């Protein structure tokens, strides 16, 4: 049975003290929560990963990175490799986020190489994809997402999906306050699962968790998560406020 997941992407927010305080607050609030088949992940900035792992020790919170470089090592000033993440105990990395695509020029080809490097180093990947507003308006959203999936995932083997979480994030819904409707999310998630089933088999498709991301809040999480193909959320802004993030975790 695939896992339900609530993941907080903290982006470029919080220093070491705020990161640790936020983790401790969430840790305390969910200590007695029965998570059953659910996972809670937070992704602080690189400099806060070590501290976050320490703060999350003996809790239900897992710590992920927000990005990594595709090379093993070398002269790549300012970059972080999969091996480095492994060396501090990080097990999961977010790749392909639309902000990486938009502001740092990451394309499908590069993201595919990053996915390969992460999997080769036993890191679990939260792979993000989604359409732009213009593509949605032209009713090209399924076509666009289908193409992103093909370009980044179709070279993998079915077994690789044991270490892949998918996150559908319509770019027009990120940080805008405008959320996809639960039906829009369900339509896309069902489409993605169908694409995976055709390429990798139904069993693989059914085992992959597909998260929704884009202006998820405490007030709309339950309705979005109630859809059959929505297995949780990748949360930005609302995951920076302990009470809101905890309410979203409770909604799962």
Ligand X SMILES: O=C[C@H](O)COP(=O)(O)O
Q: Which residues are catalytic?
A: 97, 169
Q: Is residue 130 at the binding interface for ligand X, with CB under 6 A as the rule?
A: no
Q: Among positive and negative, which fits the CA dihedral 164, 165, 168, 173?
A: negative
Q: Do strands 164-168 and 210-212 pair parallel, antiparallel, or not at all (unpaired)?
A: parallel
CA gap 20, 26 in Å, rounded? 10
Site size for ligand X (CB under 6 A): 14
- CA nearest neighbour of 63 among 79, 45, 78: 45
| CA angle (179 as vertex; 46, 171 as ends), nearest 5 | 55
Q: Is residue 249 at the binding interface for ligand X, with CB under 6 A as the rule?
A: no
Q: Which of 49, 216, 224, 248 binds ligand X (CB under 6 A)?
A: 216
CB 164 within 8 A of CB 45: no
Q: How far is the CB of 227 from ligand X (least distance, A)?
A: 17
Q: Which of 44, 130, 232, 236 binds ligand X (CB under 6 A)?
A: 236
Q: Is residue 175 at the binding interface for ligand X, with CB under 6 A as the rule?
A: yes
Q: Is residue 215 at the binding interface for ligand X, with CB under 6 A as the rule?
A: yes
* Residue number with CB closer to ligand X (174 or 249): 174
Alpha-helical regions (H) of the chain: 16-30, 49-55, 82-87, 98-104, 108-120, 133-137, 141-153, 182-200, 202-207, 221-225, 242-251
When CB distances to ligand X are compared, the closest residue is: 236
Q: Is residue 237 at the binding interface for ligand X, with CB under 6 A as the rule?
A: yes
The pair of three-digit structure tokens given for residue 69, joined into one six-digit string: 């470089």
* Residue number with CB closer to ligand X (7 or 82): 7
Q: Is residue 214 at the binding interface for ligand X, with CB under 6 A as the rule?
A: yes
* Residue number with CB closer to ligand X (123 or 204): 123
Q: Which of 44, 96, 213, 232 binds ligand X (CB under 6 A)?
A: 213
- CA nearest neighbour of 133 among 195, 100, 180: 180
Q: Which of 56, 111, 235, 249 binds ligand X (CB under 6 A)?
A: 235
The pair of three-digit structure tokens given for residue 45, joined into one six-digit string: 């900035």
Give the interface with ligand X as residue ranges (CB under 6 A): 9, 97, 169, 174-175, 213-216, 234-238
Q: Which residues are annotated as a binding site for substrate?
A: 9-11, 175, 215, 236-237
């Amino acid at each position: 049975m695939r896992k339900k997941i609530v993941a907080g992407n903290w982006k470029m927010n919080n220093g070491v003290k705020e990161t640790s305080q936020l983790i401790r607050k969430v840790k305390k609030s969910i200590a007695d929560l029965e998570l059953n088949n659910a996972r809670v992940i937070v992704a602080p900035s690189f400099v806060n990963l070590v501290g976050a792992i320490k703060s999350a020790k003996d809790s239900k919170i897992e710590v992920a990175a927000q990005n990594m470089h595709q090379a093993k090592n070398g002269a790549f000033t300012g970059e972080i490799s999969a091996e480095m993440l492994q060396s501090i105990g990080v097990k999961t990395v977010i790749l392909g986020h639309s902000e990486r695509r938009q502001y740092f020029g990451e394309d499908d080809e590069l993201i595919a190489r990053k996915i390969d490097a992460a999997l080769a180093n036993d890191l679990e990947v939260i792979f993000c994809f989604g359409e732009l507003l213009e593509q949605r308006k032209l009713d090209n959203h399924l076509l666009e997402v289908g193409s992103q999936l093909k370009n980044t995932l179709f070279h993998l083997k079915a077994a690789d999906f044991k270490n892949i979480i998918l996150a559908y994030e319509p770019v027009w819904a990120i940080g805008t306050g405008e959320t996809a409707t639960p039906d829009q999310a369900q339509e896309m998630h069902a489409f993605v699962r169908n694409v995976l089933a055709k390429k990798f088999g139904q069993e693989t498709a059914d085992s992959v968790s597909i998260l929704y991301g884009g202006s998820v809040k405490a007030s709309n999480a339950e309705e979005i998560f109630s859809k059959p193909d929505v297995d949780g959320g990748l949360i930005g802004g609302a995951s920076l406020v302990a009470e809101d993030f905890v309410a979203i975790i409770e909604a799962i």
